[in-house]
């Protein structure tokens, strides 16, 4: 039986009927649909609509539906069911008879789908935060192994200043921890229960909304039935957060790809996450990294598509909102598949620390430290910059590094140069110079590492608290 056939004299065009169905993709919401239906059934019993026996029959029926779905995927292949809500109603009536049709008393699919999707996003957030904590841990482990080894940092993709490899890796940890926080923030805002909102104006029966909310782990009921049935902000926020996370991963992937080239030679691609070429026998290609970068486009596309779907929708529910489902599922699936692979890659990628250290000592990346030496000797910064610029020009002319220039030559450029200038150019001095919170001086990086560990630990604890 359809959920709405009474007022219709003609059957649906069969192609239209097939085309407008959502069961193919909303079947994955079945578990949430069953939980939400159980909460609604209990509220119906408290409101005097269901007898205690009827409630038990419905709850048992819902449980059986869950068991059958778990036992066999084809159970959900019901060509007559319009969507997961209709599917449950049909199955319930088949299992327990007409009492099953009492479940829908006083509720609407509009509040149901809004509820199911919130439950889905909440669970996805918890899983994603768990995966993020594992990724951050893997990066921090690599950070520890890197010790005080240095590498070049780039601006404009030109060699800029040496940094600790650990400092570079911790930059990614910061990004991913922010992504974790954004997910938590999104979770906080979405954790309100639409049940009892009805189709648009609120339930037509005196349902205890607080009890329904609590039984599903929501903080409270939503405040406005019109908003609750038409709101998909949580989906937009969630996919936006995922697109920013995807962009972080994409930047990471791009950098790893660059660093794996023979021209850089900073990292060795793990064979377990690379592929070869069918034509060129020597090739080892960074497929994982490229696919991570490539999937970002789709995730950002989904975020945009979700926004455009909502644009211009009059309040409240419109069937357009059915289209938000796949736009939401796809990026969550992609991210949940991708994060463990990225973690695996980070655990097994090789860092060629000697090559990185070597690269950290060429290209005049100690020039600013050289200027700082002059500043400390009282030369005004702008003039110090100018003088060291001249020293760099001289070194370029001679094909040497700064420390290879004789003192006599340097003193022609500025009388402030002394013998100890050469110490200030050493890699260890240059690193130590950046002795501020958030800087790359080894002691600062060690502290940052400890703090990152703490932040990851609290992320893990929050995830566990929600499990």
Q: Residues with catalytic annotation?
A: 156, 277
Nearer to ligand ARG, 109 or 293 (CB): 109
Q: Which of residues 319-348 bind ligand ARG (CB under 6 A)?
A: 319, 321-322, 325
Please, what is the minimum distance in Å from the beta carbon of residue 337 to ligand ARG? 24
Instruction: Quote the CA–CA distance of 28 and 32 in Å, as a whole number.
Output: 9
Q: Kindly write out the interface string for residues 107-136 of this chain, putting x where it contacts ligand ARG by CB under 6 A and - elsewhere.
A: --xx--x-----------------------
Please, what is the minimum distance in Å from the beta carbon of residue 110 to ligand ARG? 5
| Residue appearing with tokens 């199955």 | 91
Asked if 83 touches ligand ARG (CB under 6 A), the answer is: yes
Please, what is the minimum distance in Å from the beta carbon of residue 117 to ligand ARG? 8
| Residue appearing with tokens 């599903």 | 216
Asked if 30 touches ligand ARG (CB under 6 A), the answer is: no
Please, what is the minimum distance in Å from the beta carbon of residue 320 to ligand ARG? 9
Beta-bridge mates of residue 351: 267
Angle between helical axes of 30-46 and 84-96 (0-180°, round to 10):
60
Nearer to ligand ARG, 290 or 323 (CB): 323
Beta-bridge mates of residue 285: 275
**Three-state helix/strand/coil letters over 255-281:** HHHHHHCCCCCCEECCHHHCECCCCCC
Asked if 222 touches ligand ARG (CB under 6 A), the answer is: no
Please, what is the minimum distance in Å from the beta carbon of residue 312 to ligand ARG? 17
Nearer to ligand ARG, 322 or 348 (CB): 322
Asked if 225 touches ligand ARG (CB under 6 A), the answer is: no
Q: Phi and psi (nearest 5°) for 6?
A: -50, -45
| Residue appearing with tokens 């405040």 | 223
Among residues 48, 372, 418, which one has the least CA distance to residue 206? 48
Nearer to ligand ARG, 149 or 200 (CB): 200
Beta-bridge mates of residue 350: 268
Q: Give the interface segment with ligand ARG, choosing from 94-102, 106-114, 347-355, 422-430 (CB under 6 A).
A: 106-114
Instruction: Quote the CA–CA distance of 122 and 383 in Å, as a whole number.
Output: 57
Asked if 208 touches ligand ARG (CB under 6 A), the answer is: no
Please, what is the minimum distance in Å from the beta carbon of residue 130 to ligand ARG? 28
Tokens encoding 296: 């970002």
Asked if 317 touches ligand ARG (CB under 6 A), the answer is: yes
Q: Phi and psi (nearest 5°) for 193?
A: -100, 120
Q: Are 220 and 192 in contact (CB under 8 A)?
A: yes
Asked if 197 touches ligand ARG (CB under 6 A), the answer is: no
Q: Are 288 and 252 in contact (CB under 8 A)?
A: no
Nearer to ligand ARG, 26 or 255 (CB): 26
Total residues at interface with ligand ARG (CB under 6 A):
11
Instruction: Quote the CA–CA distance of 389 and 373 in Å, as a whole number.
Output: 13
Reduce the DSSP state of residue 219 to 3 states and report it: coil
Asked if 318 touches ligand ARG (CB under 6 A), the answer is: no
Q: Give the interface segment with ligand ARG, choosing from 148-156, 318-326, 341-349, 355-363 (CB under 6 A).
A: 318-326
Interface with ligand ARG by CB under 6 A: which residues?
22, 26, 83, 109-110, 113, 317, 319, 321-322, 325
């Amino acid at each position: 039986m359809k959920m709405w056939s009474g007022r219709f004299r003609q059957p649906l065009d069969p192609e239209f009927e097939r085309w407008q169905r959502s069961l193919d993709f909303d079947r994955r919401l079945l578990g949430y649909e069953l939980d939400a239906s159980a909460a609604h059934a209990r509220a119906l019993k408290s409101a005097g609509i269901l007898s205690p026996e009827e409630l038990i029959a419905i709850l048992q029926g819902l449980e059986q539906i869950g068991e059958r779905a778990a036992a066999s995927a084809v159970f959900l292949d019901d060509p007559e069911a319009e969507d997961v809500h209709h599917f449950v109603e049909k199955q319930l009536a088949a299992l327990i008879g007409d009492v099953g049709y009492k479940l829908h008393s006083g509720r609407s699919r509009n509040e149901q789908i809004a509820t199911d999707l919130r439950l889905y996003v909440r669970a996805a957030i918890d899983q994603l935060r768990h995966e993020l904590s594992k990724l951050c841990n893997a990066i921090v482990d690599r950070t520890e192994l890197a010790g005080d080894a240095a590498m070049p940092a780039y601006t404009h993709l030109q060699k800029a200043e040496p940094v600790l490899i650990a400092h570079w890796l911790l930059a990614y940890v910061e990004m991913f921890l922010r992504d974790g926080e954004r997910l938590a923030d999104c979770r906080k805002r979405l954790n309100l229960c639409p049940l009892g909102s009805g189709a648009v104006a609120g339930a037509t029966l005196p349902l205890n909304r607080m009890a329904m909310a609590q039984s599903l782990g929501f903080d409270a009921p939503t405040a406005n039935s019109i908003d609750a049935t038409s709101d998909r902000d949580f989906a937009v926020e969630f996919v936006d957060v995922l697109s920013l996370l995807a962009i972080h991963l994409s930047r990471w992937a791009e950098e790893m790809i660059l660093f794996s080239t023979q021209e850089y030679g900073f990292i060795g691609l793990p064979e377990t996450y690379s592929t070869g070429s069918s034509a060129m026998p020597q090739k080892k290609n960074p497929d994982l990294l490229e696919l991570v970068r490539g999937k970002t486009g789709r995730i950002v596309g989904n975020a945009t598509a979700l926004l455009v779907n909502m644009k211009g929708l009059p309040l409240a529910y419109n069937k357009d909102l059915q289209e938000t489902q796949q736009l939401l599922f796809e990026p969550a699936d992609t991210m949940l598949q991708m994060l463990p692979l990225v973690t695996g890659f980070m655990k097994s990628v090789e860092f060629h620390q000697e090559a990185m250290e070597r690269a950290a000592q060429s290209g005049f990346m100690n020039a600013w430290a050289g200027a700082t030496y002059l500043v400390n000797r009282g030369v005004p910064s702008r003039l110090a910059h100018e003088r060291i610029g001249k020293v760099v020009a001289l070194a370029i002319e001679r094909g040497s590094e700064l420390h290879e220039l004789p003192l006599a030559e340097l003193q022609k450029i500025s009388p402030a140069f002394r013998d100890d200038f050469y110490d200030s150019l050493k890699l260890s001095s240059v690193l130590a110079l950046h002795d501020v919170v958030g800087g790359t001086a080894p002691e600062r990086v060690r502290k940052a590492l400890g703090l990152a560990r703490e932040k990851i630990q609290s992320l893990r604890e929050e995830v566990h608290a929600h499990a």
